[in-house]
Chains A and B, each alone.
Chain A
Amino acid sequence: MTEDQKIIRVLSCCGKAPKSAWALDKTERNAVAALCGADGLLVAGGQEKFRILMVEHYERRKATSEEFEQPPVVVDSPLTRE
């Protein structure tokens, strides 16, 4: 599988759509792709690792964009649950 395919598989395994990868930087893409197992499913503990990666991704974007506001909508999924 290519890195793109791995990222899309990981996103799907975490209930996210492929477009969610649009703002990942190179380091984040590598980290997300590493969560994809050989069978195309998440590696053990992948949900939690993905959640942490997305929190860091969100913080990075927030720090680099003045327009980036705190989201008014919270999706209560395994990805965002505290």
Chain B
Amino acid sequence: MGKQYTLGCISLYDGAAAATHIAASSVSVDANTVVSGNDSGSFYEEFQSVVGFDPTVNFTSKCVAELLSWIGLSGQCVGGAFDVTRFDVITRRIADCQSALSETPHIRDRFDDGLLTLGSLGVDRNGDAALTVNFDAITDGTNAPITRTDGVALPTPVVAQRFAMGLPAFDGVTYPDTENWSLEFGISKTEKSPSLGSIWTDSIGVLTVRPVLTIRNRDISKLTNALLAAASASATHLDTKLQLIARENGGSYQDFGDAVHIGITIAGLLTPQNIINAASNQRATNELRISASYDGTNAPILFDLASTYDLSPP
């Protein structure tokens, strides 16, 4: 009898070993197995060895606030000594018409050591915000970086959140006609290489953080002559803000006055990238970009995960 599986959830464990289960919209666990040969003059390869095995996980989730409460801009180490002690990927077995599922039919892939980093955060005007997260697994020096258990129950409860685009402001000017925006966190990491005598990597770290925000906007008049002449404007945490509005299950939006929405401020350099993009029978747009930078005191991107929704940002 065949077995088939689909998306389950991901689980993060805090320092007290309590798990939070979070809904994801896509998950990919890659083995990154490296096989090398002996580069001889033989017609066929004759000597093959596995020289590297570096599992990585990439997942996308709409639970933006929950995930940002676990993973900061500079990344989050996973391990017994850290604030996140364990990371699981749960794959749900699909019930079929051949046999009833047992109580524990699902698969759990467990990672006890590694590094969680933010990939990108984006939202369309009519869609939900989605956050991508990357995880690089490493060994603890003894055990494989991934442990699979075939036969677990589906965790409950699973956190589910959805956020819509809110009114943004850049350089002190609101942009109510924003079509979409995408924030690439631009995190580079050290190259992974196996520890001596092993095929598993035992170390990884964040090298640089270079976030870039791209904004596509319908109101092309927002790109003023002054901005074009200067080709740039400064963005600060006090005048540049993105907002995400928490949707309500069984309603529309959560109360704007409740501290359940997300505010994101950015410091950096605002530049025009595309001045007009127009075609027949289509709405014209333009594109701005903010290359985020350190203002000398604060991180380039700041998250307020318990914000009220501001109708007149920043």
Tell me the minimal C-beta distance from A50 to chain B in angstroms. Answer: 11
Are the CB atoms of B299 and A23 closer together than 8 Å?
no
CB distance from A21 to the nearest CB of B (A): 9
Contact with A15, one of B114, B205, B299 (Cβ below 8 angstroms): B299
> In the complex, A16 Cα to B82 Cα: how many Å?
12
Total contacts A-B at CB 8 Å:
110
**A41 CB within 8 Å of chain B:** yes
Asked if residues A73 and B115 are in contact (CB atoms below 8 Å), the reply is yes
Could you tell me if B83 and A20 are in contact, using CB atoms closer than 8 angstroms?
yes
From 193 to 214 in chain B, residues with beta carbon under 8 angstroms from any chain A beta carbon are 202-207, 209
- Establish whether residues A22 and B80, one from each chain, have CB atoms under 8 Å apart when the complex forms: no
Indicate if the CB atoms of B72 and A70 lie closer than 8 Å: no
**Residue B228 at the A interface, CB < 8 A?**
no
The interface residues of chain A lying within 8 Å CB-to-CB of B75 are 75, 77
A40 to B81, CA, bound (A): 29
Q: Is the CB of B79 within 8 A of A41?
A: no
B16 at interface (Cβ–Cβ under 8 A)?
A: yes
Q: Which A-chain residue is minimally distant from B298 (CB atoms)? A: A13
Q: Which residues of B contact A12 (CB under 8 A)?
A: 72-73, 299, 302-304
Which among B24-32, B53-61, B63-71, B276-284 touches the partner chain?
B63-71
Interface string of B281-314 (1 = CB under 8 A from A): 0000000000000100111001111100000000
* Choice from B77, B80, B141, B237 contacting A67 with Cβ under 8 Å: B80
B81/A19 in contact, CB under 8 A: no
Which residues of A sit under 8 angstroms from B305, Cβ to Cβ?
Answer: 8, 18
Contact present for B113 and A44 (CB under 8 Å): no
Residues of chain A from 19 to 42 with CB closer than 8 A to chain B in the complex: 19-20, 22-23, 39-42
CA distance A23 to B80 in the complex (A): 13
Task: Name B138's contact: one of A20, A70, A72 (CB within 8 Å).
Answer: A72
